[in-house]
Each structure stands twice: as C-alpha cells, then as structure tokens.
Amino acid sequence: MRLEPSDEQRQILDSVDRFMARQLPPAETRRRDREQDPPYHLLRSMGDAGFISAPFPEAVGGLGRPWTTVVLMQERMASLGLMAASLFTRTVTFGGMALMSYGSEAQKQALMPALIRGELLFAFALTEPGAGTDAAAIETRAERHDGGWRLNGRKTWISDADRADYIIMPCRTGPRGGGKHGISMFLVPRSSPGLHMSVLPKAGHNCMPSWDVGVDDVLLPDDALMGELGAGMRHMQSTLHFARAGQAASAVGQAQAAVDLALEHAKTRRQFGQALGNFQVIAHMLADMQTRVDLARLMLYHLASLIDAGLPCRKESAQAKLTAAEAFHFIADRGMQILASAGYSLDSDMQRYWRDSRLYMFGEGPVELQRNLIAREMGL
C-alpha cells in the first residue's frame, strides 16, 4: 500500500488546489457559511474540471481513477473548503455509485453522462421520524398503482432535497413490520407532484441544507424502481464503503486544517513572555491532535486500497469512519481550547470546524453503530 502520492496524484492535487483557490477561497467559504449560501454552482465547474468523472469507469464517460486517488481529492478539497468536498462526495456516492451499483441500464444511460458533467444533483432520503440508524424501521410505503407506484410517507433530515434533480428513496414494498425485508429503492424526480418540503435549521454544516420531506401520493412509473424489488437493504449496503470513505476523507481533511490552524496560533500567540506552543501542555495537546489525524488518515488509505483491490471491507469502512469522526471531533475541541476566545469568534475558522465536527459523530451511522459493526465482523 503506497502512502505517499504518486507524481500523477500530486498533479491532480495541484489541480484541486488551483480549483479551490479560484472557485472557493477562504473568504468566500466564510461568507457562504455565515450566510448559509450553498455553492451549488460549483457542481458544473467540478464536472468541467473532470473531478466528478474520476471514480467512474470509462464505459460511462468516467476517468477510471482508483479510490486511493479519489480519497486524496476528497481530503484535500475538504481541507480547503468542506462545502465543496461535501457537494463532490454527495454527488459521487449518493448519485453516481448508487446508479452504478444498483441502477438499471436505462437509468445509467439516461443519467450518468449528465451527472459526470455536473448537471445533476442527487439526494438520498433514508431517514424518517422513526428510522435512521435503524434503517429497517422504514415506514414510507410504495404500492402498486396503475402499472406504476404510489408513494406515501415522510422523510426527514434529507440533505439537498429541495435542490436535487432526483431523490433516491428507500420505501417499504413488503408487509409492514417486515424489518429489513421488503424494502425497495426508487428514483424520484424532485419535480414529482406530492413532494412537500420544509427546511430544518441546524447548528453546523450551513451549506448542506437539510429538509423534512412529505411524500403524499407521489406517482412513479414502473421503471422508477432501482435494482431488485425487496432488495433495498442489500442495495444500500453495496455503497456504504464508498460513502464511509468519503465521510472519512472529509473529516481527515478538515481535521488536518484544524491542526494547522491551532499550530500556527500556538507559534504566534505569546503569553507570559513566550510563544504559547512553548508550554508543554499545549505542545502535548498538538502532538495528540496530529497523531490522531495521522492514524485516521492511515485507516482511510487502507480502506481505499481495499476498495481498489475489490476485497471485502465492511470492518475497515466502519473503522475508517469511526477513527476519522472521533479524530475530527477531538481535534476541533482541542483547537477551540488552544485558540480560546480567538477560536470562539465567528470570524475564526476553528468555530466552524467545531460546529461541523459534531455531525460526524452520528451522521450516516453513529460511532456506536460503527463499533457494533466492527465487533460483528470480528465474530462477536
């Protein structure tokens, strides 16, 4: 497993640096976070730059880059501006990898070219008022209706729902109370009559809006079904490692940025006649912060290498998400302590890292669930 970027990967990372400097410089990131103004316009620019095409096979217009390269791109982009990295990752995983893993050939042919060009945004509507970590508790129903499907229910905390072109929506097609059995996946156009949305204010991730989605007699054609009828849980699990790799990469990138910010402050801030970093308690705090992000980075790169090799990685994907989430949360909290009032100011990037880091501890599978999955893979 190669740990240092190759010459080709360095060139790709340089292109990410140039893209971010041009499209989303630090001042613009701060403004958009403050004004809760998502940079959805970047999607097309990412398509033009070839970023979105990176992980997809040449047969559908992609570049066929390995995941060891894709996570480097995600990590670097997140270190410079999470809102761009998150948009990139959500497009690749929620849209592209879902289509590639369980979309029909007709769905792939119709949607993958536009997705790769950055012309389509996808949302993934799993969470419900009574279902989240327990995905098998989904109650939103899809029933046969005039040769197609009729959907009814409610989804909540759905990122990008109001701006998405399509919402990938798991629904129950089997008997109520059927647990993980009888769940199917549907491709729902955002323009479908019967979808009603209201925004959900939250503490962080200001440029990833979350929505409550009412699903009232939404009618779909038969070919809106994705994959096999009743195989929704299996289909969702088929893309989990891609999503967890993306989440881990975003957390690692931001964690490193937080370490760098705290380190610069410790070198330049003077107290009691000397640099803050000369005090052992601060130096040790920074040493722990850097060690945690490096450990999380190793877990991430290991996961990416397993994905590229086509090897089983259920345990490693959970480990990568767990270590990255806890590292970022730990680092952002210690960073706030080191910067103190300077970090608590809304003018500081550290308070944004602090707010944003909390979501990784429970979003898309809490750390407690990751530990359960790891233990299960160990045979416990």
What is the spatial distance between Cα 15 and Cα 23, in angstroms, rounded to a whole number? 12
Select the CATH number that applies to the domain covering 239-377 from these four: 1.10.3720.10, 1.20.140.10, 3.40.1280.10, 1.10.357.10. Answer: 1.20.140.10
**What residue segments make up the domains of the chain, in order of their start?**
7-120, 123-230, 239-377
Q: Is the pLDDT assigned to residue 2 strictly greater than 70?
A: no
Return d(Cα 42, Cα 48) in angstroms, integer.
10
Give the highest mean pLDDT range of 2-11, 128-137, 152-161.
152-161
Closest CA to 127 of 361, 369, 373, 363: 363
User: Does 4 or 36 have the greater pLDDT score?
Assistant: 36
Is residue 137's pLDDT more than 80? yes
pLDDT above 70 for 343: yes
3-state secondary structure of 142: strand
Q: What is the CATH T-level fold of the domain 7-120, as seen in this structure? A: Butyryl-Coa Dehydrogenase, subunit A; domain 1 (1.10.540)
* CA distance linking residue 192 with residue 188, whole number of Å: 7
Give the number of other CB atoms < 10 A from CB of residue 237. Answer: 13
pLDDT in tens, 160-211: 999 999 999 999 998 877 777 899 999 999 999 999 999 999 999 999 999 9
Total Cβ atoms within 10 A of residue 361: 15
Tokens of 39: 């940079």
Neighbours of 311 (CB within 10 A): 9
Average pLDDT, stretch 74-78? 97
DSSP secondary structure, 49-74, as one string: HTSTTTTS-GGGT-----HHHHHHHH
pLDDT at 1: 59
- What pLDDT, on a 0 to 100 scale, did the predictor assign at position 181? 85
| Token digits of residue 74 | 């995600």
Residue-wise pLDDT for 251-281, tens only, equals 999 999 999 999 999 999 999 999 999 999 9
Active-site residues: which are they? 364
Question: CB under 8 Å to 94, separation ≥6 — which residues?
Answer: 122, 123, 124, 168, 243
Q: Fold identical between 123-230 and 239-377? A: no
Handedness of CA 78, 82, 84, 86 (dihedral sign): positive
At residue 332, φ and ψ (nearest 5 deg) are -65, -40
pLDDT in tens, 96-128: 999 999 999 999 999 999 999 999 999 999 999
Q: What is the pLDDT of residues 29-58, one digit of tens each?
A: 999 999 999 999 999 999 999 999 999 999
Residue pair 89/242 in contact by the 8 Å Cβ criterion:
no
pLDDT of residue 206: 94
Going by their DSSP bridges, the two strands 270-271 and 195-199 should be labelled as unpaired
Note the pLDDT tens digit of each residue in 81-100: 999 999 999 999 999 999 99
Task: Determine the pLDDT at residue 134.
Answer: 87
Check if the beta carbon of residue 99 is closer than 8 Å to that of residue 111: yes
Integer Cα distance of 185 and 223 in angstroms: 11
Region 151-158 average pLDDT: 97
Q: Please, what's the b/e burial string for 26-60 (b: 16 or more CB within 10 A of its CB; e: otherwise)?
A: eeebbebbeeeebbeebbebbbebebbbbbbeeeb
What whole-number distance in Å separates Cα of residue 264 and Cα of residue 247?
Answer: 26
Mean pLDDT of 200-226: 96
CA 39 to each of CA 15, 23, 120: distance values in angstroms, whole numbers, following the listed order: 19, 9, 14
Name the pLDDT band for 365 (thresholds 50, 70, 90): confident
For all residues of the chain together, what is the average pLDDT? 95
Stronger pLDDT, 180 or 232, i.e. the higher one? 232
For domain 123-230, the CATH class is mainly beta
Sole residue written with tokens 């707010």: 355
How confident is the model over 316-336, as pLDDT tens digits?
A: 999 999 999 999 999 999 999
Of 262, 293, 291, 288, nearest in space to 276 by CA:
262
Integer distance in angstroms from the first to the last C-alpha of the chain?
Answer: 29
The residue whose two tokens read 């079904």 is 225
CA distance 38 to 370: 29
